[in-house]
Chain A
């Protein structure tokens, strides 16, 4: 298992698991799989960023990655 620091924003916050700052997942888990594990609907995900860099759902998570998932935001 590896540990990631997970942050979910706006409407996604309700999917945030317990111990999100040290969330345990199996090694070689892809972001797409993580989104499934958390139960986040695909269409609610717009920007995925790992350690400050935008990534796609096929990114394989590494130990201590800082993971952020942001929904579409358009208010003015």
Chain B
């Protein structure tokens, strides 16, 4: 076993480390959540990553997006993520998609993937992702943030998922509270960490998954609750 994973033991077994090394995870959105998630999944040993984002870095990303540096303003987020991951572990197989997630490119992105991590920044796109993930029969680990609050849910095919979180999808766009509150770096790091632990638990078939449950956290008031969704 590669020495780089020495400190993953004994929380992870040799067999589990191999499962992670052979897993393929797609991260949709490489901003505040996605950048942290990509870094952590690379370090823990996911062997195959699909990195999806059509955006470029702006100055306003510097407050929270770990991949964003002054030098990279105006350049591709997916390219920055690719470069970062390759520096951490050059053996990780990466499919870099410099496009925004849509219904049209879902086939390309989700094919042969074991799990998709939702790090999108639009509620409407999340419903599209749920439909497409259902089609490919893959679980979603979803995170969303606003201000100092955030939420995480893990959705398996056939689960009600976002319909429980955001209500039944209507034609009218649902605007998230983050438009008024902004997003802080520690909220992004925290929610990204929970998403990574959920991802690892799902891939390794472990217990205590946030299925039909929503973790709600507010870091300003130290409020943490797992809500049973009905």
Contacts and interface: CB of A to CB of B under 8 A. Distances in A.
Interface string A4-40: 0001011100000000000000000000000000000
Given A7-B223, A49-B225, A52-B227, A75 B174 contact: no
B181 A47 contact: no
A12 to B, nearest CB: 8
A73 B121 contact: no
Nearest to B216: A70
A1 interface: no
A74 B123 contact: yes
B214 A75 contact: no
A54 B167 CA distance: 12
B149 interface: yes
Interface in A39-57: 44, 46-47, 49, 52-55
Given A75-B183, A76-B29, A10 B119 contact: no
Contact of B145 (A44, A55, A76): A76
B228 A52 contact: yes
B227 to A, nearest CB: 4
A10 B225 contact: no
B230 A75 contact: no
Interface residues of A, number: 20
A54 B177 contact: no
A32 to B, nearest CB: 15
A11 B175 CA distance: 12
A49 B145 contact: no
A52 B143 contact: no
Contacts of B32: 75-76
Contacts of A55: 230
Contact of B165 (A46, A53, A76): A46
A11 B34 contact: no
Contact of A73 (B31, B178, B225): B178
B176 interface: yes
A9 B31 contact: no
Interface of A: 7, 9-11, 44, 46-47, 49, 52-55, 68, 70-76
24 contacts: A9-B149, A9-B216, A9-B223, A10-B149, A10-B177, A47-B165, A52-B225, A52-B226, A54-B228, A68-B225, A70-B149, A71-B177, A72-B166, A72-B176, A73-B145, A73-B149, A73-B151, A73-B178, A74-B121, A74-B176, A75-B32, A75-B146, A76-B29, A76-B144
What 9 pairs across the A-B complex have the smallest Cβ distances? A74-B176, A75-B178, A76-B121, A74-B123, A11-B177, A10-B177, A73-B146, A71-B177, A49-B227
